Amino acid sequence: MEKHYKLKNILTHLIESVKKQDFLVYFRKISILEISDSHVVFGTVSSFMKDNLQAKFNTLVLEASQKELGKKITSISFLVDSSIDNPSNTNAVDCQEFYKETLKSNKIADKKSRNSVSPIEQKAGAHMRYTLNNFVVGADNQLAFSACEAVSKNPGKSYNPLYIYGDVGLGKTHLLQATGNEILKKYKDKKVAYTTADKFITEYVTAVKKRNVERMREKFREIDVLVIDDVQFLSKKEQTQNELYNIFNLLYDSNKQIIISGDRAPKELTELEPRLRSRFEWGITVDIGKPDFETRLAIIQEKAREKEFMIPQEVAEFIAANVTENVRELEGVLNQMIAEYELTGNTPSLTRIAAKLQKLSFTTDLLGESRSAARLKNTRTIKSYEDILDAVSQHFGIEKEGILGDNRKKEFMIPRQVSMYLLKTKLNYTYERIGNIFNGRNHASVLYSCNKLEKIIKKDKNLLYEVNAIKDGIGI
């Protein structure tokens, strides 16, 4: 029983330093097999779990063991305990049950209270994993990132308010929370409030019911930085909009920083009050676009690094080439791949990820043709614009130099327009970037070519077929 008692104390220390999800997944069930003068042997349910604990949590488990057993413990190891599921094994602990019990008995110190901050500040620090350092910067989010960086250095002085907009899953929440976290880190005396539009609505409705709206205003008046995510959800909430208008004025007049995100530019949020929309535009408005191939690849590699997961380069490139909509989808595919590895031991491969995308993805492309990711298994990975140019060149039987050149004959114009169109719609390259590839053509010229091809393929089914054939051949 002494081992059981010591193990529980070690686990209590671990809960303080290990994320809840990691604790419940990786520790699951554990025992102490042996305690010697300087070494502890832990038992696990399987060799797979043993390897993961050894690779990912060895240092943390050693530190927790030293807190309980003293610095004399200099090493630990993990072995498979064949009797761990036996009811008579009194040294084993079910970590899921233990976690619940520990929460109930208040053995875990609330991390928020340990920071000695107000309830508002706690919200800003709730997701400390979001930082400006681990935000992957690309061509389509560079301006938004730079604006957030500037605001974090001089809150209330540079770009106030800061309004960031873009589609779902492109990193707005990461940037907002990272900026709040950066301000808290640089300015220990600042109070930062992070909230979503939905939470703001709930807080206001509750304040109205309890007749303490003024108290709510006082709370917001005390903060130095207000961060509001997904402001579009305030649509048709007239009273809540009015309250935000009042709070906005209070903070702005006091030179307090305001950071807002939405899915559209302020002028397009037509269901918000005009006076509120106009205030959102008082500072700087920046957008976040869909990441291009290089940025998607960098995001996958960064997320894998954060999760301490080794992903083969060819698999990372395959995902980046075929999961193109947003960052959230990229991370979702990566998480499923990690889960499969942790549960089955299957290492990532092109075959497995193609099968995974087949199950997860069924999209309609911009040309109106529905296609399943099942086709991806038989296609090659797109790494750069060169791959698209090679595919178009091969399909139409002309040299790449002809596609990139200035010859205005139809046999060159069509392949050139197809190439530009695919670079824009499938690799999310900017018009400027495409222009640079095509010997310095300007933005307007590339835009015209893309629009021209889109109009042609709506009428010319033969050309539409050819474009789809190129896409199928390269897996986009």
Per-position DSSP letters for 445-460, written without gaps between them: HHHHHHHHHHHHHHH-
Question: What pLDDT is attached to residue 42?
Answer: 92
pLDDT digits (tens, 9 = 90+) for 431-447: 999 999 998 999 989 99
Residue 119 scores a pLDDT above 50: no
User: Which CATH code fits 293-360?
Assistant: 1.10.8.60
Asked if the domains 119-287 and 385-474 are classified in one and the same CATH topology, the answer is no
Mean pLDDT, residues 145-150? 93
Residue 450's nearest CA partner among 428, 411, 422 is 422
CA 215 to CA 192: how far, in whole Å? 18
Tell me if 319 sits within 8 A of 330, measured CB to CB. Answer: yes
Question: What pLDDT is attached to residue 253?
Answer: 92
Tell me if 124 sits within 8 A of 132, measured CB to CB. Answer: no
Question: What pLDDT is attached to residue 90?
Answer: 80
Mean pLDDT, residues 267-296? 91
> Thinking of the domain 119-287, which architecture would CATH place it in?
3-Layer(aba) Sandwich (3.40)
Tell me if 245 sits within 8 A of 228, measured CB to CB. Answer: no
Q: Is CATH 3.55.40.20 what the domain over 385-474 is classified as, yes or no?
A: no
Q: What is the three-class DSSP state of 101?
A: helix
Q: Rounded mean pLDDT of the chain? A: 82
Question: What pLDDT is attached to residue 352?
Answer: 75
The amino acid at residue 88 is S
Residues 6+ apart with CB under 8 A from 204: 213, 216, 239, 240, 243
Residue 375 scores a pLDDT above 50: no
Question: What pLDDT is attached to residue 108?
Answer: 40
Burial readout 415-436 (b: 16 or more C-beta within 10 A, e: otherwise): bbbbbbbbbbbbbbbbbebbbe
- What Cα–Cα distance (Å) separates residue 394 from each residue in 43, 322, 353? 59, 21, 27
Q: What is the pTM of this model?
A: 0.52
pLDDT digits (tens, 9 = 90+) for 300-326: 888 888 887 888 888 888 888 888 878
Domain coordinates in residue numbering, the chain: 2-108, 119-287, 293-360, 385-474
Question: What pLDDT is attached to residue 365?
Answer: 37
Residue 97 scores a pLDDT above 90: no
User: Which CATH code fits 2-108?
Assistant: 3.30.300.180
Place of tokens 């190891």: 77
